Chains A and B, each alone.
Chain A
Amino acid sequence: MAALAEEQTEVAVKLEPEGPPTLLPPQAGDGAGEGSGGTTNNVGSVAVEDQPDVSAVLSAYSQQGDPTMYEEYYSGLKHFIECSLDCHRAELSQLFYPLFVHMYLELVYNQHENEAKSFFEKFHGDQECYYQDDLRVLSSLTKKEHMKGNETMLDFRTSKFVLRISRDSYQLLKRHLQEKQNNQIWNIVQEHLYIDIFDGMPRSKQQIDAMVGSLAGEAKREANKSKVFFGLLKEPEIEVPLDDEDEEGENEEGKPKKKKPKKDSIGSKSKKQDPNAPPQNRIPLPELKDSDKLDKIMNMKETTKRVRLGPDCLPSICFYTFLNAYQGLTAVDVTDDSSLIAGGFADSTVRVWSVTPKKLRSVKQASDLSLIDKESDDVLERIMDEKTASELKILYGHSGPVYGASFSPDRNYLLSSSEDGTVRLWSLQTFTCLVGYKGHNYPVWDTQFSPYGYYFVSGGHDRVARLWATDHYQPLRIFAGHLADVNCTRFHPNSNYVATGSADRTVRLWDVLNGNCVRIFTGHKGPIHSLTFSPNGRFLATGATDGRVLLWDIGHGLMVGELKGHTDTVCSLRFSRDGEILASGSMDNTVRLWDAIKAFEDLETDDFTTATGHINLPENSQELLLGTYMTKSTPVVHLHFTRRNLVLAAGAYSPQ
């Protein structure tokens, strides 16, 4: 190939003087994410307006063979795979989809429109059903110019599609492809696919089907091997007075460990350090204020009154229906103590309601504030202006539908993210907008405050998630790696990791400390719309448009459960306060409760550190389903467990 490459370079220089001749050796089996090597395209396509970066990216396609022969190559491979042994067929069938897409795109890029069309017509029906959405998008890409604007397809081109194949199957394939004279397919395989070979039994169709579906294939095993600190941070010690009324909460003698650089303190010597918990100062966290300590005490008091849930003790569900929203309700959040509900709407307003009888008040004007006695005990009530008391506050500021909302843990701030590309921070004392964080220039689909406040994460159409701090106008971390929009972003309970669910059907876990992707979970067959961590930090539940809820073990990086039952997008998920029940809400107007303890109980006994990472998921969705609760044509947009384990659900009534 070397001689041929040089020839092509010369020609390339002649034809495209403005583009740099990118001559990189083809990388075999290299890491994903970087542009794969390829010689510049030189066949009859002098781009009129070709930006250098796009041409470099698109030049991943070289003219490797006769366009009319592509159908034959593909048919030949298809025939070979169908004739192979049963045990290998399932694994080798994984090749069909990436090969089909890459060959089609090559034809389009090299402007063989007719051949591309007929190729597509002939073979698109053979692909798996879960790729149909992608194929539909692909069918609209018939010209080279169409490819330029579609970032997702461009990323698909430059990243390597990962396949996990057993060594036997791989040998079979390699032998077959290298035998043939025109091994164009072998070239494509080398350039665009990454084959993660494992030693062991070939996988069955069922096993493969559980794990495939994402736009980038599966995850490489190395991608899921780094250590993740999934344990929880230690709670600071606060002395809770045993009598309710006698002592005020102020006499805590907590030693907030965050003040000390070392994490030892007197109280903690009795408790063992959880080896899976991150060090206390791994990431800087805000100090605990007095008001936070009071909150924690309230929390602890509520905890004692919490109902223990289980299969025989299901929670009650209180549903908040938004009437007259006319499909405009796009985001909902509830505070941790369940006192406020915020709704983001398509008319770009954010509305905050008080759920308790206590009304919403804003702070007095400065002139009045100066008149009050600052030393009085009820100063926090006095600063509130009675004239502004109302049950509803409307916040204006965004210029597009509000797709994400999140309260801060201390209930002082509300975040909202919108289609206008900004994330706004609102003060819940004055009910005005404080800051607009501009970074995404495209719709921001989701945002969430960290469980300790101060940090927040946002994810949007530009395929990245950003980590911000409220006092920095630029993001602190950018989590880039997804191939399509980031639909959903959630913090881990210890605030050291961020999970993102994307339209490329993968879920990634990112480390806040250095921005690295530490886990990639594939298996969903549709864009992911909901994520939730279990309260103990060990597990992640995800829901997508395919109606399934998948359960993942973060430490081992494996799928551990699949909950089938919903018939439409699962758009909200929440674990109960102690992790016994998982509640899922969907666009099919139901809330389902699943037994989380049982779903995770086998894990203690099994050995997960298998080299292959194979999973055998039990078909136990029916046993795990504890209840299905229908609403009157109201999709369940948000779920929340109160501190006493009552379920609050929210949605907008949308009659058909």
Chain B
Amino acid sequence: MESGKMASPKSMPNDAQKMAQILKDMGITEYEPRGINQMMEFAFRYVTTIPDDVNIYSSHAKKATVDADDVQLAIQCRADQSFTSPPPRDFLLDITRQINQTPLPLIKPYSGPKLPPDRCCLTAPNYRLKSLQKKASTSAGRITVPRLSVSSVTSRPSTPTLGTPTPQTMSVSTKGGTPMSLTGQRFTVQMPTSQSPAVKPSIPATSAVQNVLINPSLIGSKNILITTNMVSSQNTANESSNALKENRRLKDGDAILRRGKLEKDCVCRLLKEEASIMYLKAKSDFLCVLDKEELCF
């Protein structure tokens, strides 16, 4: 730390002078001048919050006047809260004895990158999108699908990434650099009802609710997670077609993605009946084909 230019001691306020003296007594010769300001702030905060606490405790105990006990209690509580210290030695030695007893685990060879279970990693998507209220549009049976591309990293572990859906583009592009730091959670992707130019033009203007449920807990190191599910407008009545319940793992999701139409549509695992219903209702040939070919994994 550099000892920058400090205000000359005479011009400093009294409190600041005292802080400088404390630092000098404790043998700290080099410090940033802002340190004194920090110390004063701390002192002020301490000296004002403790009496507040004292009043609270005293009134809670229904005492007429404030007591030394209240003050001690307030100090104690504040200290336990803010000034925690590392665990004491006997506790440390205890857990040390426990942990050091177990032999070192053997290493499985050829098991790919050695990372902890996925729930302990930071590789899962960390957001969920809420579902919009569905506006009924029963006429159009088309499924409007946001473009969600799912990436799978088969050779590397981790980061099956989902990009963030923006209001404009309903396409979710994956970005490799996005840090994902939440544990796997189910989430729904909310698709705004406004159409985006990114979506293929065949989609009618009235779009149905699109609820996308993504279950990142299924993100495995070698698998991909399927992203969304499109609920067709016919299912609006059937709210439970928030069969955005499950996702299914695509072993070779890339193969599916490559198919052109999948740019529009997304597949997710539904209960088998609902899946078949949906697909039957869907006008897209592709989906029917998909149903036959891909649903059985």
Binding site for B on A (CB under 8 A): 33-35, 48-49, 53-54, 56-57, 132-133, 136, 139-140, 149-151, 154-155, 158-159, 259, 283-287, 327, 362-367, 369-370, 383, 385, 388, 396-397, 412, 425, 427, 429-436, 441-442, 454, 461-464, 469-473, 475-480, 512-516, 654, 656
Contacts and interface: CB of A to CB of B under 8 A. Distances in A.
A369 to B, nearest CB: 7
Interface string B90-109: 11110110011010111101
B65 interface: no
Contacts of A383: 155
Contact of A287 (B88, B107, B122): B107
A38 to B, nearest CB: 14
Interface of B is mostly: loop
A154 B91 CA distance: 13
A412 B96 CA distance: 31
A463 B92 contact: yes
A20 to B, nearest CB: 14
B168 interface: no
A27 B151 CA distance: 66
Interface stretch (B110-118, B199-207, B283-291): B110-118
Contacts of A478: 92, 95-96, 99-100
B115 A287 contact: no
A414 B241 CA distance: 44
Q: Which of B84, B89, B120, B160 has the most CB of A within 10 A?
A: B89
Given A48-B69, A49-B73, A470-B114, A432 B107 contact: no
Contact of A442 (B86, B106, B107, B161): B86
3 shortest interchain CB distances as A-B pairs: A366-B151, A515-B100, A370-B254
B156 A432 contact: no
A366 B92 contact: no
A62 B43 CA distance: 35
Contacts of A514: 100
Interface of A is mostly: loop
Given A49-B76, A286-B114, A433-B122, A154 B89 contact: yes
Given A367-B149, A369-B153, A434-B123, A284 B93 contact: no
Contact of B150 (A53, A149, A366): A366
A367 B105 contact: no
Given A57-B88, A369-B254, A478-B99, 18 more contacts: A48-B76, A140-B26, A149-B79, A284-B104, A284-B105, A287-B110, A362-B176, A367-B257, A369-B153, A370-B152, A397-B122, A430-B156, A430-B159, A433-B179, A435-B121, A470-B114, A471-B115, A480-B89
Nearest to B152: A366
Interface residues of B, number: 67
A431 B257 CA distance: 25
A363 B176 contact: yes
Contacts of A369: 151, 153-155, 254
A201 B113 CA distance: 58
Contacts of A473: 116-117, 120
26 contacts: A53-B90, A53-B91, A57-B90, A149-B79, A150-B85, A284-B105, A327-B1, A363-B153, A366-B174, A366-B224, A366-B254, A367-B149, A385-B176, A412-B113, A432-B177, A433-B122, A433-B179, A435-B115, A435-B122, A436-B122, A461-B86, A462-B86, A462-B87, A464-B92, A478-B99, A480-B92
A471 B257 CA distance: 31
B179 A435 contact: no
Contacts of B107: 284-287, 454
Contact of A149 (B85, B92, B254): B85
Contacts of A385: 176
A466 to B, nearest CB: 9
A478 B102 CA distance: 11
B5 to A, nearest CB: 12
Contacts of B73: 49
B234 to A, nearest CB: 30
Q: Which of B1, B123, B177 has the most CB of A within 10 A?
A: B177
A105 B256 CA distance: 73
A309 B59 CA distance: 76
A628 to B, nearest CB: 24
Contacts of B159: 427, 430, 432
A656 B2 CA distance: 7
Interface in B224-267: 224, 254-255, 257-258
A363 to B, nearest CB: 6
A133 B115 contact: no
A200 B176 CA distance: 68
Contacts of B110: 287
Contacts of A656: 2
A513 B120 contact: no
Given A150-B85, A367-B149, A431 B177 contact: yes
Contact of A432 (B84, B106, B178): B178
B92 A471 contact: no
B92 A367 contact: no
B90 A476 contact: no
Interface in B17-53: 25-27
B93 A33 contact: yes
B174 A464 contact: no
Q: Which of B100, B105, B157, B224 has the most CB of A within 10 A?
A: B100
Nearest to B110: A287
A243 B71 CA distance: 81
B83 interface: yes
A480 B181 CA distance: 31
A434 B156 CA distance: 11
A365 B92 contact: no
Nearest to A48: B72
